[in-house]
């Protein structure tokens, strides 16, 4: 077998074993039970795009499966070992560029470790704001490939909201860049549509080599608080109102009654006494059982063989939920938002003070290191994150718990919320055998699809969810197939992962509920009446490319229709990570199309205007002051800036303080966001029609083509 010997590589048993698995818990179970795992034939460490391309072309010619490998922290099997494969380990693509203070962006290699990146940015006074639990053992390329989400998604967005440009290599197309080019980007520019296919592709189409990412100045203020909620449903109402009030908290985390019971932290400090820092229920119980001679290694087998009883006992004693809410950023913005938000939440629950919030913040990355004792003692532990609209979220929560309870101990928390819905993060523990593991996941995934939710929010798909992910995307899978034929004509890129075809599951009929904050529309030019009511009034759908939008903006939420007479519903949950975004495919090829966009709730509104020589430069200054206008645009030479929600007037005052001479308050009006093709330019360019925090844009002209 020939291979590119100019690229650093190894076939030693140690190197092959190190690249043979990710953190898919069923693989961990195999490891603890001394069962062999499939191993690659060779591991490569390319140092640039040219070397990546050499490996991919050689593998394609030889018919060798290729697995792109970052840090191996994925939990869905996207980078799990495959016998006879070549692994392309990207850790040598570890360059971190300097932050560009003009565009507020940074260029980084795909192999850069998340914590290393955050530390480097912090040393220069910046942050990416992406803070997954795996930040110390995951890479930038892995985040993009799996459409990762961090713990402060409410403020900074998920990783796809941070990406303004990507470099990649595919077998069929070679090296290319999409979006904003970087200083080292390949000269070839790919079509804008490739960005939606690249995000979430999990190594099945191409290898991500470098990215340009939005960064923000390090937060100068942080506000964190805990609340005791009487039930999950009451807490849902509080979270929904918080997000639809356009207050944009950085973190919103709800722990269901069982998770709250095990954590034991809903009481104010005065009620805790010496138990304030007690160990979790599970850890304390394991420790006590381990003290019994002779049963340490299998100490969880018996209790986890009775999951129904465990769940009944936990449900019997579990009451109340812990809700953590936090803001960070510029002091004035944090004060305005938290003052209103705190009052809103207290209408639903009891204030526990700042300590629960600070406790969570201080230990927010520790969760990744607490599962191994379960495997050591004869069980398995796993997590599953899904997402749904607000009206569907309770049904999904109860349906999954009911489906899983006969097979595993189950609890949940809710860690990412948006105006239209949120995610549920389930934790399972059961007896450590592969049959039980398979039954737990089949029952859970079936319940998710039947409830109308999406099967993944931020962990990606891999091999674990491939069958159900394919059922969810249904006939829209044609878009991925077309991309695969173009980028990977020999089918060597991570085969058998992401989508495993079968019969698509007919999507449930989901009528819009007022709580969803959504309104029906259709792709194409938007009716002015819908523009006036929508959260972000695009003149056309789909909206402009993501690098031309604010991090918190999206065009459509879901798209429904038919392809070949088969019904399809994409975007069931906010920020679904079920592979590439195939909504454009459905919109292009589908029939009987409909889509939903976010709906602005009724309530206070504030709008101001100013005139100046460079109104769009003023608009960018307002954005960089940590403010998120609901409406912003230039009409007849005047910059209009509008805010909605209970903090609208306070945000308006802060925006006025940024502008020399302030903003003159005026009547609310709709300012449509332009939909024409835009071209980057300077903020002072007289042809500017749109700005983000990073760049200014003007319409593309004949001279630019």
Q: What is the pLDDT of residues 158-182, one digit of tens each?
A: 999 999 999 999 999 999 999 999 9
In the structure, what pLDDT confidence band is assigned to residue 703 with cuts at 50, 70 and 90? very low
pLDDT of amino acid 285 = 46
In the structure, what pLDDT confidence band is assigned to residue 283 with cuts at 50, 70 and 90? low
Q: What is the pLDDT of residues 412-449, one digit of tens each?
A: 999 999 999 999 999 999 988 899 999 999 999 999 99
The answer on pLDDT for 5 being more than 90 is no
The answer on pLDDT for 297 being more than 90 is no
The enclosing H or E element of 335 equals helix 331-346
| Cβ–Cβ < 8 Å for 424, 412 | yes
The answer on pLDDT for 502 being more than 80 is no
| CA 579 – CA 570 distance, rounded (Å) | 11
pLDDT of amino acid 75 = 93
What does the pLDDT average to over 498-503?
Answer: 84
| Cβ–Cβ < 8 Å for 429, 380 | yes
What does the pLDDT average to over 477-501?
Answer: 94
Spatial CB neighbours of 609, under 8 Å, sequence gap ≥ 6? 638, 639, 640, 641, 663, 664, 666
Q: What is the pLDDT of residues 550-607, one digit of tens each?
A: 988 888 999 999 999 999 999 888 889 999 999 999 999 999 999 999 999 999 999 9
In the structure, what pLDDT confidence band is assigned to residue 674 with cuts at 50, 70 and 90? confident
| CA 19 – CA 86 distance, rounded (Å) | 10
| Cβ–Cβ < 8 Å for 170, 206 | yes
Tokens of 656: 């006025």
Which SS3 state, helix, strand or coil, does residue 572 take? coil
What does the pLDDT average to over 641-654?
Answer: 97
Q: Give ∠ CA 396-400-405 in degrees, rounded to 5.
A: 155
Spatial CB neighbours of 13, under 8 Å, sequence gap ≥ 6? none
pTM of the entire predicted model: 0.93
| CA 266 – CA 321 distance, rounded (Å) | 7
| CA 548 – CA 531 distance, rounded (Å) | 19
Cα 651 to Cα 248, 381, 647, distances in angstroms: 12, 44, 6
pLDDT of amino acid 87 = 97
The answer on pLDDT for 276 being more than 60 is no
275/321: higher pLDDT: 321
| CA 135 – CA 110 distance, rounded (Å) | 14
């Amino acid at each position: 077998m020939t291979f590119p010997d100019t690229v650093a590589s190894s076939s030693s048993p140690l190197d092959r074993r190190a690249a043979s698995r990710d953190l898919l818990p069923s693989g961990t179970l195999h490891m603890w039970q001394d069962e062999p795992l499939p191993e690659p034939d060779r591991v490569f460490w390319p140092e640039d795009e040219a070397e990546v391309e050499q490996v991919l072309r050689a593998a394609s010619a030889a018919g060798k499966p290729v697995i792109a490998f970052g840090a191996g922290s994925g939990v869905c099997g996207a980078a799990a070992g495959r016998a006879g494969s070549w692994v392309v380990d990207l850790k040598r693509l570890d360059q971190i560029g300097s932050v560009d203070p003009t565009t507020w962006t940074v260029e980084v290699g795909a192999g850069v470790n998340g914590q290393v990146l955050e530390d480097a940015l912090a040393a220069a006074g910046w942050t990416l704001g992406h803070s997954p639990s795996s930040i110390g053992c995951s890479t930038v390329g892995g985040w993009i490939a799996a459409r990762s989400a961090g713990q402060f998604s409410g403020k900074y967005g998920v990783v796809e909201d941070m990406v303004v440009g990507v470099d990649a290599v595919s077998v069929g197309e070679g090296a290319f860049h999409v979006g904003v080019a970087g200083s080292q980007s390949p000269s070839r520019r790919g079509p804008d549509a490739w960005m939606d296919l690249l995000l979430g592709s999990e190594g099945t189409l191409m290898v991500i080599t470098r990215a340009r990412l939005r960064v923000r100045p390090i937060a100068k203020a942080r506000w964190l608080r805990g609340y005791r909620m009487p039930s999950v449903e009451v807490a849902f109402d509080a979270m929904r109102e918080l997000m639809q009030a356009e207050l944009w908290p950085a973190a919103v985390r709800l722990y269901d009654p069982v998770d709250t019971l095990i954590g034991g932290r809903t009481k104010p400090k005065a009620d805790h006494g010496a138990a304030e820092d007690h160990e979790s229920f599970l850890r304390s119980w394991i420790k006590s059982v381990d003290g019994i001679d002779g049963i340490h290694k299998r100490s969880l087998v018996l209790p986890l063989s009775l999951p129904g009883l465990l769940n009944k006992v936990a449900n019997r004693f579990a009451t109340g939920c812990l809700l953590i809410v936090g803001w960070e950023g510029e002091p004035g913005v944090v004060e305005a938002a938290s003052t209103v938000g705190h009052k809103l939440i207290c209408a639903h629950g009891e204030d526990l003070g700042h300590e629960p919030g600070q406790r969570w913040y201080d230990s927010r990355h520790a969760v990744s290191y607490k599962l191994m004792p379960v495997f050591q003692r004869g069980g398995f532990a796993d997590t599953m994150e899904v997402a749904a609209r607000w009206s569907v979220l309770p049904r999904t929560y109860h349906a999954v718990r009911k489906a899983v309870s006969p097979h595993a101990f189950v609890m949940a928390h809710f860690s990412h919320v948006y105006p239209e819905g949120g995610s549920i993060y389930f934790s399972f523990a059961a007896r450590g055998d592969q049959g039980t593991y398979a039954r737990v996941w089949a029952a859970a995934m079936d319940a998710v699809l039947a409830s109308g939710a999406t099967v993944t929010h931020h962990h990606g798909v891999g091999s674990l969810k491939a069958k159900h992910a394919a059922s969810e995307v249904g006939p829209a899978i044609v878009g991925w197939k077309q991309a695969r034929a173009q980028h990977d004509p020999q089918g060597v890129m991570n085969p058998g992962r992401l989508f495993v075809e079968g019969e698509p599951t007919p999507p449930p009929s989901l009528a819009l509920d007022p709580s969803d904050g959504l309104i029906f529309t259709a792709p194409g030019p938007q009716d002015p009446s819908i523009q006036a009511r929508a959260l972000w009034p695009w003149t056309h759908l789909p909206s402009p490319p993501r690098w031309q939008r604010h991090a918190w903006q999206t065009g459509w939420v879901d798209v429904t229709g038919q392809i070949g007479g088969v019904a399809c519903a994409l975007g069931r949950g906010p920020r679904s990570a079920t592979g590439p975004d195939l909504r454009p495919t459905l919109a292009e090829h589908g029939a009987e199309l409909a889509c939903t966009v976010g709906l602005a709730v009724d309530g206070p509104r504030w709008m101001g205007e100013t005139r100046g020589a460079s109104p769009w430069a003023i608009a960018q200054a307002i954005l960089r002051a940590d403010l998120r206008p609901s409406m912003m645009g230039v009409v007849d030479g005047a910059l209009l800036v509008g805010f909605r929600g209970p903090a609208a007037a306070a945000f308006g005052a802060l925006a006025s303080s940024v502008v020399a001479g302030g903003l003159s308050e005026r009547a609310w009006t709709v300012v449509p966001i332009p939909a024409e093709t835009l071209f980057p330019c300077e903020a002072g360019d007289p042809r500017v029609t749109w700005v983000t925090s990073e760049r200014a844009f003007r319409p593309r002209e004949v001279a630019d083509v």
